[in-house]
Chains A and B, each alone.
Chain A
Amino acid sequence: MSEVIYMGEKNKKLSEKIEELSGEKITLCEQCGICTTSCPMADDMDITPAGIMRYSQIGDERVVDSEAIWICASCFTCTVRCPRGIDLAKVAEALRELNLRKNVDHIDVNHLDEELNELPAIAVVSALRKFTS
């Protein structure tokens, strides 16, 4: 069974929102996939980084709900490799923010299996900034 995506106003709006929030021109992506095999986290993602770009281009909501955008650790490897010069780390950040700005946290820091003070402060601070609103 093939899925048909009926492109509507919603798709256009989402693409525009991602572009605005990331400040990146996502239509520039030529889908070469270099980001995917540069990404150290790609194996743990439900959508590949190039897939994230494609879903963003067509404005498919599923990219906002994906796990992949949370797996991205902002390591910037894709950013330094993209032949079109797109800063994909910014696109992933924009997609996370689309969730966080609905006041939905991705982790619950009050219920961790380790004491916060055993972890490096930068680990906790960055996790809070990336995963909570």
Chain B
Amino acid sequence: MQKFPYYPGCTLKQTAKNFEKSAIASARAIGIELVELPRWNCCGAVSSLTSDEIMRHVAPIRNLVRVQQMNDEGMLENEYRLITLCSMCFNVLKRSNMVVTGDAEMLHTINQFMDTEPDYEGTVEVMHFLEILRDVVGFDKLRARVKKPLKDLKISPYYGCTLLRPKEVGIDDAEAPTIMENFIEALGGEAVDNPYRSLCCGSYHTVGENKKIVAERTYKIINAARRNGADVIITSCPLCAFNLDNRQKLTKEMHPDFEYMPVLYFTQLMAIALGKEEDAGLEDNFVDPRPILRERGFLGVKQ
């Protein structure tokens, strides 16, 4: 087992437990152990974008200090690549890391501010689990580990915003990403095009009065997926997942012609393909993906 430090973030302990569960099981199936950071804290979910808010970087950076400590204390052997699953946490941690490592003065200020913590030395590399699969494991190796190829399953990848933008943070080309498509193909599935695969789902507008904005985006994104023949949608963001999955209810209320489509975390399909169906957490999805997966013969074969 190759051990990596792992940052879950709040939502993976709350509405996205199935994301974490399926990811840990999938990682294990390909020889990766996700070692949760001790005493991690909320990253803040969004980066502050004004020029004067240095202090908002403290929370993300404190988590990176934990990675240093894990190495110092022998929990890890010289492994500074921090794995994230939640796209928003990934974006915030990576952005803060870039900002402070590129600005010695700011790093100094932040270290002074966290005076009870060891200094952050700028050694951590924040990576998304998809990047690990592409760049460390390799999609070819992943393909070789697949026990149950998702043959003929038409999957619409949904990138959302925070995996791709801004460019300096994104894990792939902001306009023409391929990482999710290649991931789907490695699992034996068929990636279908969706012109709205990186269209913002409305994000935090899901809180409060403007949730109709979200439902409209959901309508647009899922309909495009359906038009292109998709059976399911995958994502890596718990907020996108909530908006695309749970908000289908509101979407249906607003657009009676709308038809439900399952929305899964990419790791849920990965768990199934790697023979870890029991850890896929499919029972937690709002639109139940089990009927279509069972119908296609991806579930219940072992029993």
Q: Is the CB of B48 within 8 A of A122?
A: no
Does B123 make an interface contact (CB < 8 A)? Answer: no
Residues of A within 8 A of B165 (CB): 75-77, 79-80
Of the listed stretches B130-138, B202-210, B291-299, chain A binds B202-210
Across the interface, which residues of B come within 8 angstroms of A40, CB to CB? 199-200, 217
- Which single residue of chain B is at the shortest CB-CB distance from A106? B208
Contact with A along B80-93 (1 / 0, CB 8 A): 00000010110000
Interchain CA distance A73-B199 in the complex, whole Å: 11
Distance to closest chain A CB from B120 (angstroms): 22
In the complex, which of the residues A75, A107, A119, A130 contacts B15, with contact meaning CB atoms closer than 8 Å? A119
Q: Chain A: which residue is nearest B242 at the CB level?
A: A120
Complex CA–CA separation, A71 to B3 (angstroms): 41
A127 to B88, CA, bound (A): 13
Give A129 to B51 CA distance when docked, in angstroms: 16
Instruction: Determine the distance from Cα of A21 to Cα of B239 in the docked complex, in whole angstroms.
Output: 28
Report the minimum CB–CB distance from B166 to chain A (whole Å).
5
Are A80 and B166 CB-contacts (below 8 A) given A23-B51, A107-B207? yes
The 8 Å CB contact of A80, one of B9, B174, B242, is B174
User: Which residues of B have CB within 8 Å of A44?
Assistant: 213
Enumerate B186-205 residues with CB–CB distance to A below 8 Å.
198-200, 202-205
Q: Which residues of B contact A80 (CB under 8 A)?
A: 164-167, 174-175
**CB < 8 Å: which of A20, A41, A87 contacts B200?**
A41
A84 to B217, CA, bound (A): 28
The digit string for A13-38, where 1 denotes a CB below 8 A from any CB of B, is 00000001111000000000000000
Beta-carbon contact of B49 and A89 below 8 Å: yes
Given contacts A75-B161, A76-B161, contact A130 B50 (CB under 8 A): no
Identify which of B38-46, B68-76, B149-157 touches chain A.
B38-46
Interface residues of chain B: helix, strand, loop or mixed (majority): loop
- The closest CB in chain A to the CB of B241 belongs to A120
Least Cβ–Cβ distance between B169 and chain A, in angstroms: 9
- Taking the closest CB of chain A, its distance from the CB of B105, in whole angstroms, is 15
Which stretch (A3-11, A52-60, A90-98) binds chain B?
A: A90-98
Q: B241: shortest Cβ distance to chain A, in Å?
A: 8
A18 smallest CB distance to B (angstroms):
10
* A119 CA / B203 CA spacing, docked (Å): 12
Tell whether, in the assembled complex, residue A126 and residue B15 are in contact, meaning their CB atoms are under 8 Å apart. no
Measured CA separation A29–B73 after assembly (Å): 50
Cβ contact of B203, chosen from A75, A79, A97, cutoff 8 A: A75
B44 touches A129 (CB 8 A): yes
User: Residue of B at shortest CB range from A79?
Assistant: B166
User: A87-B166, A122-B88, A122-B238 given as contacts; is B208 within 8 A of A127 (CB)?
Assistant: yes
- B45 — which chain A residues lie within 8 A by C-beta? 121-122, 125-126, 129
Complex Cα distance, B97 from A59, in Å, reads: 33
Further contacts, 14 of them, CB under 8 A, given A80-B167, A80-B174: A41-B202, A44-B213, A74-B203, A77-B165, A107-B208, A112-B207, A119-B15, A121-B14, A121-B45, A122-B9, A125-B44, A127-B207, A129-B46, A130-B204
The 4 closest A-B pairs by CB, nearest first: A23-B51, A75-B200, A76-B165, A93-B49
Measured CB to CB, the residues of A under 8 A from B are 20-23, 40-41, 44, 71, 73-77, 79-80, 87, 89-90, 93-94, 97, 107, 109, 112, 114, 117-127, 129-131
